[in-house]
């Protein structure tokens, strides 16, 4: 942890304290499952391509669903 140095405005004394870091957000297995389920639902709803009777989703569409903004779409 880093130290923070502060000056007391009343008497000018400099004091130090440890930086307080926010607590890590804990996600439960149920929350992870809900997130996974929502992501899979969006992937399932994406445009599909049929090749040899099998359905495929473009990787760029999956990246867009996952929030990868730098993915360039070819349309």
What is the model's pTM?
0.47
Check residue 47 and give its pLDDT. Answer: 92
pLDDT at 9: 85
Query: What is the DSSP annotation of 29-68?
Result: HHHHHHHHHHHHHHHHHS-EEEETTEEEE-HHHHHHHHT-
Kindly give, in sequence order, each residue whose CB lies less than 8 Å from that of residue 7, ignoring residues fewer than 6 positions away: 13, 14
How confident is the model over 31-71, as pLDDT tens digits? 677 788 888 898 889 999 999 999 999 988 888 887 765 55
């Amino acid at each position: 942890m880093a130290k923070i140095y502060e000056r007391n405005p009343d008497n000018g004394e400099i004091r130090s304290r440890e930086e307080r870091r926010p607590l890590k957000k804990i996600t439960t297995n149920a929350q992870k499952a809900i997130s996974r389920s929502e992501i899979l639902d969006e992937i399932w709803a994406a445009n599909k391509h049929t090749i040899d009777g099998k359905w495929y989703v473009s990787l760029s569409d999956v990246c867009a669903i996952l929030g990868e903004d730098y993915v360039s779409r070819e349309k």
